[in-house]
Copies of this chain bind each other. A is one copy, B any other.
Amino acid sequence: MATPLPPRRRPTMVDVAARAGVSRALVSLVFRDQPGASAETRARVLAAAEELDYRPDSAARLLARGRSRTLGVLMTVREPFEADLVEAIYPEAERLGYEVLLSARTPGRDEATAVEGLLAHRCEAIVLLGPDVDDAFLAALGARTVAVVVGRAAPGLDSVHSADAEGVRQAVDHLVGLGHRAIVHVDGGTGPNAAARRTGYLTALAARGLGDRARVLPGAYHEDAGIAAAQTLLAGPELPTAVLAANDRCALGLLDSLRRNGIDVPGQVSVVGYNDDRLARLSHVDLTTVRQDAGLLARHAVRAAAARLDDPDRAPGETVLTPELVVRGTTAPPVRGERR
């Protein structure tokens, strides 16, 4: 139907070889930066390639060498924290000599489809961002290829995530230190890590002798959950003086909803998020939050994948990074000595 090849054929190694007056193999050497070509030949080959606007075809290259040296990254397009991760994956992958292929999970395209696409392109390992994938799927994937999960624990696979309970503890300690006693947690519902954060919250409160003041509001990892939680709080008899949200997006919804209803943050209510994504850092948001260092997570993930690829027998490991509270503008001491 259509012309099988574009009018001006893409140049190949043969063309370059012919133009430079050498063999195909030599061109290959030059392009792989291997020893075995004299400086002037090398220059001649490069010049010829330049003139022809030649660039190696990675499909062929991939086919010919055993390894593709390609990492597949499964992501969503909406999550700011994942964007931070992606940005950090590229340089680390490059450093280790890997290419990166991105595949997005969208409402109409599930993780299985996205992963098939990556695997068909011979990705040697898959890095799964954002923990919204189910366990069975992960297990199956892990059996088929090298997979690294970022953002949550994944039994049997390599995973890189941060210590949620510790992060939450820091947040709680910060709030308690400021004088807060009525600290509500809007949780992540059934979302991944939500249980860990919830438990962390309860434990931290108990440790501060505030176990009986614990109050968990059902939530989720997105803005709407924050909004809903704000409605619940506003409808209640008395506002807490501080709220610990499931993540930054949830905190954002909460923040906006509170302010819209005339509540001063942090004057009347302090708000703490979780993740420290780009949005939280924006000057107009200026959210106090628990930082999960995206760069560090990404680097560890890429390294885990590479290490696993170099040594397939390596036992899968869980890397747990310590999160760190970042105090910004949404937390302050409570208004005044609260009643009771």
Give me the interface of A with B, judged by CB distance under 8 Å. 1-7, 53, 55-60, 62-63, 66-68, 77-78, 80, 82-83, 86-87, 90-91, 99-104, 106-109, 116-117, 119-122, 144, 223-224, 226-227, 252-253, 256-257, 259-260, 278, 282-285, 309-312
Contacts and interface: CB of A to CB of B under 8 A. Distances in A.
Given A78-B80, A90-B109, A284-B257, A63 B67 contact: no
Nearest to A80: B78
A63 B66 contact: no
Nearest 9 interchain pairs by C-beta = A77-B83, A102-B102, A4-B66, A58-B120, A256-B284, A87-B106, A59-B62, A2-B310, A59-B59
A104 B78 contact: no
Nearest to A253: B284
B58 A121 contact: yes
Nearest to A68: B59
Nearest to A146: B6
8 contacts: A2-B309, A3-B312, A5-B66, A6-B312, A59-B63, A77-B83, A87-B108, A253-B282
Contacts of A60: 59, 63
A102 B100 CA distance: 10
A283 B224 contact: yes
B117 A104 contact: no
B63 A90 contact: no
Nearest to A254: B284
B260 A284 contact: yes
Contacts of A4: 66-67
A104 B86 contact: yes
A93 to B, nearest CB: 11
Given A55-B119, A227-B284, A77 B87 contact: yes
A120 B56 contact: yes
A90 B122 CA distance: 20
Given A58-B121, A107-B87, A144 B53 contact: yes
Contact of A108 (B91, B226, B285): B91
A294 to B, nearest CB: 11
A259 B258 CA distance: 12
A53 B63 CA distance: 19
A77 B77 CA distance: 7
A259 B256 CA distance: 10
Contacts of A227: 283-284
A255 to B, nearest CB: 9
Nearest to A67: B4
B59 A2 contact: no
B122 A57 contact: yes
A1 B121 CA distance: 23
B77 A86 contact: yes
B83 A278 contact: no
A301 B106 CA distance: 19
Given A66-B5, A78-B80, A59 B122 contact: yes
